[in-house]
Amino acid sequence: MSQQIAWQVSLILMSLVVLAFAFVAINSGARQEDYTPLQKRAYRIRSRLFWGMVVVFGSAMLYTLKDLPYGAERDHSGAGAAQIVEAKGFQWRWELSRDHVEAGQPVEFRITSEDANHGFGIYDGTMHLVAQTQAMPGYTNVIRHTFDKPGTYKILCLEYCGIAHHNMITEITVGSL
């Protein structure tokens, strides 16, 4: 019974759409009054709305960009050579070439995968994401990050990679100078 009602309602709505198109087609050839003043007012309103949205959303975008976890803007001059960490993703583990780095010195993570795509995310002690990239087979992504604070940072997989994805966790210790 409900399918019958849905069919009838659909037919009525389709008929209304056809009638609306027919009405517009029939009246499209009729001479209409001059809409130029109304058109100018509408374009002025549209222009003000556009620039208002640019100001509001542009400001919000710029305000939120400062919280991105990328450290590329930092000046590493004089900070010493980068500490290199090779990271390989496997189902379902991470292998790091070293699990200890020093705070205040740049660290270069070279991330790849041996089997499937993985998401490489570094989290601080309060589980805030500080850096991330993709780990892909046959390709090496590089993250350069300087840890400001000593502590233990977790590395988690951010892309579902199979049944034991939730266990793909390792840690890196950041020591003080």
Mean pLDDT rounded to a whole number for the chain = 86
The type of residue at 2 is: S
The arithmetic mean of pLDDT across residues 165-173, rounded, is: 92
DSSP string covering 3-25: HHHHHHHHHHHHHHHHHHHHHHH
Give the pLDDT confidence of 115-165 residue by residue, as tens digits.
999 999 999 999 999 999 999 999 999 999 999 999 999 999 999 988 988
Give the pLDDT confidence of 60-83 residue by residue, as tens digits.
888 887 766 555 444 444 456 889
- The backbone torsions φ and ψ at residue 76, rounded to the nearest 5 degrees and listed phi first, read -100, 10
The arithmetic mean of pLDDT across residues 26-53, rounded, is: 82
Q: How far apart are CA 177 and CA 175, in angstroms?
A: 7
Sheet of 118-123, strand order: 100-102, 169-175, 151-157, 118-123, 129-135
The arithmetic mean of pLDDT across residues 38-47, rounded, is: 88
Give pTM, 2 decimals: 0.56
The answer to whether 140 and 116 have CB atoms below 8 angstroms apart is: no
Quote the pLDDT of residue 77: 46
Terminal-residue alpha carbon distance, the chain:
77
CA 15 vs CA 18, 23, 26, 41, 47: distances in Å = 5, 12, 16, 35, 37
